[in-house]
Amino acid sequence: MIAAYAVAHSNIALAKYWGKANDELNLPAVPSLSMTLDALKTETTVVFDSSLPADVVNLNGFAVNGRPRDRVLELLDRVRQQSGITDPAHVTSRNNFKTASGLASSASGFAALALAATRAAGLDTSIAETSALARRSSASAARSLYGGFVKLDVGSEFASPVAPAAHFPLCMVIAVMAIGAKDVSSTDGMQATRESSPYYPAWLETAPQIYDVAMKAVLEADLEALGTALERSAMLMHASMIAASPSLVYWEPGSLAVMRAVKQLRRAGILAFYTMDAGPHVKIVTSPQDAEAVAILIRGVPGVQEVIVSKIGPDASVSVSSPDA
């Protein structure tokens, strides 16, 4: 019996993925570029154990049920199919941040699960193959296998690293809003946008152009160019979902107040830029020198519960032990 323990860090897209080209294979319709976060991580242990009557899935000390459990079992079943193992699995996972609220817990969660489950099954899966396995569960999870800046191209099964953190040291200041779990999952939100938003075709057309601009800015380590592109990517993505029927709005009053505060900072000469995902929290990209000043200002914005300052994070990692040995 092998116990595998994996750590994967969350990532936030600078050029967003929103919309699927293939629902069954979970392939994105647009390319995305992300930055892995040092401060937000998931730790997951997996053991396949013949003495268990059924799979056990535990997150932050509680049994996981319903759709979240089914998503974990789908990944485990793919690993069982590949490895020939038929035993139930014991999965224990812990996030050091709020789950399912737009802080990309599915990204770090499925990356850690894919890594731990393949190793616990004794598979010698490459990191690219592990990224593809994670992608089937959550496309953003494909990017969390790698540290630094990471891309997921259209038509690609797996994510790939673009540049290490040292190439362009940035910080992300995360304004965590005083609000719980999100009410519409990103999968449901993407489907609603594709089916009912007249702006979805415009999103599909512009997202790859913004991705190209953001990629160039990362390669040239140009914060102003990257910031302009990443705000535009987030705003265009949200515009496409706000135009869905029924309208999909993840913003809270506090989210808008943070966006305004970021613009004020820029007027004061600080290079800081915001992005948002499928939740109310606002993530601000800035330089390491300005991160503390940004955090101090954002802490005072009404509706902000907590501010997390993160550096760029490392590759996912895994270690394996054999309890029988």
End-to-end CA distance of the chain: 9
Question: Residue from 3, 121, 207, 278 that binds ligand PMV (CB under 6 A)?
Answer: 278
Among the listed ranges 16-24, 57-65, 168-176, 283-291, the one in contact with ligand PMV (CB under 6 A) is 16-24
Find the binding residues for ligand PMV in span 159-188 (CB under 6 A).
186-187
Query: Per rule CB under 6 A, is residue 16 in the interface with ligand PMV?
Result: yes
Query: Per rule CB under 6 A, is residue 106 in the interface with ligand PMV?
Result: yes
Query: DSSP 3-state assignment of 59?
Result: strand
Question: Residue from 148, 162, 277, 308 that binds ligand PMV (CB under 6 A)?
Answer: 277
Query: Per rule CB under 6 A, is residue 17 in the interface with ligand PMV?
Result: yes
Q: Which of 10, 32, 28, 9 is nearest to 19 (CA)?
A: 28
Find the binding residues for ligand PMV in span 116-145 (CB under 6 A).
138-140
Find all residues with CB under 8 Å of 145, minimum gap 6, and list them: 8, 111, 114, 115, 127, 130, 131, 134, 159, 315, 316
In Å, what is the CA distance from 134 to each residue of 108, 258, 285? 10, 32, 26
* Min separation Cβ 135 and ligand PMV, Å: 8
Alpha-carbon distance of 44 to 79, in angstroms, equals 15
Q: Which of 323, 318, 311 is nearest to 11 (CA)?
A: 311
Query: Per rule CB under 6 A, is residue 32 in the interface with ligand PMV?
Result: yes
Among the listed ranges 13-21, 124-132, 209-217, 309-317, the one in contact with ligand PMV (CB under 6 A) is 13-21
Site for ligand PMV, rule CB under 6 A = 13, 16-18, 32, 106, 138-140, 186-187, 277-278
